[in-house]
Amino acid sequence: MKNFLNKLYDFSSSWTGTVVIVLFIIFFIAQAFVIPSGSMISTLRVGDMLFVKKFAYGIPTPRIPWIEVKVLPDFNGNGHLIEGDRPQRGDIVVFRYPHEEDKHFVKRCVAVGGDTIFLKDKELYIHPKEGNEYIKANYDASKIVEIGDKLWVVNPYKEAHPGIHNDPNVVDNGLQPRQFFDMFPITIPDDEYFMMGDNRDHSNDSRFWGTVPYKYIVGKPWFIYFSWNENYEIQWNRMFKSVETIEKSIKADDKIPNYKEGIY
């Protein structure tokens, strides 16, 4: 055993060993990710650098970082070397943009396969696949409305996730995308997920380009290891905190960031 440990130490101390260990961590455990846009303000901000938990939803088929070359074939046909749990409603998820796989997006999962959703005047309505009785048992009556023979939950995530908000400056004046305000009911395909940014009126998400199949799911944010703002000032109060901890610390004033024009 002592000889084995000595050899393991020597290997890990070598350049080859270091590369192998780093790649193993990136492939199977965690990968660094930088928040590139303001679509998740106030929960996640531009300049947040975080580790993504790669094993949260199974193990994605390994790819070499930066050049995005697959190390192994997609044996299971679902983008994962080892299949795992699926994203749940309300999870923040890191995934590959379905129309350009080398790009990573981070959004909140608002609906899973089998759910039906629609938007009316910026309000999100969801009919979970479990049906009316499930809704009655799991949601406050004040959030439930009845349309036809179905019960719908209105904005089910805002209380638990206070970073979710709308921009009062984005109004239905004919100049803004229709998807910000209204969307016809759609039923999410099996093993696919509807993603939206917490910064609802400045987010390029499933409202524009559709649902995200499981094969593109990468993982979930683990913790922020470094953060700085647009003036390159270090945000010490955000470092080494999980997303859950950040959400608990959000105050009312944090919900109204400095908005920028456009969608990102």
Catalytic residues: 39, 107
Q: Residue 59: which region, alpha, beta or left (left: phi > 0; alpha: psi -120 to 50)?
A: beta
State whether the Cα torsion 94-95-96-98 is positive or negative. Answer: negative
The DSSP call for residue 50 is: E
Residue 110: CB atoms within 10 A of its CB come to 23
Could you tell me the two tokens for 220?
A: 């979930």
Strands 192-196 and 212-213: antiparallel
Residue 128: CB atoms within 10 A of its CB come to 21
Residue 195: CB atoms within 10 A of its CB come to 26
Could you tell me the two tokens for 149?
A: 């023979």
- For 225-261, b/e burial (b = at least 16 CB within 10 A) is ebbbeeeeeeeeebeebebeebbeebeeebbebeeee
**Beta-carbon contacts of residue 232 (< 8 Å; ≥ 6 apart):** none
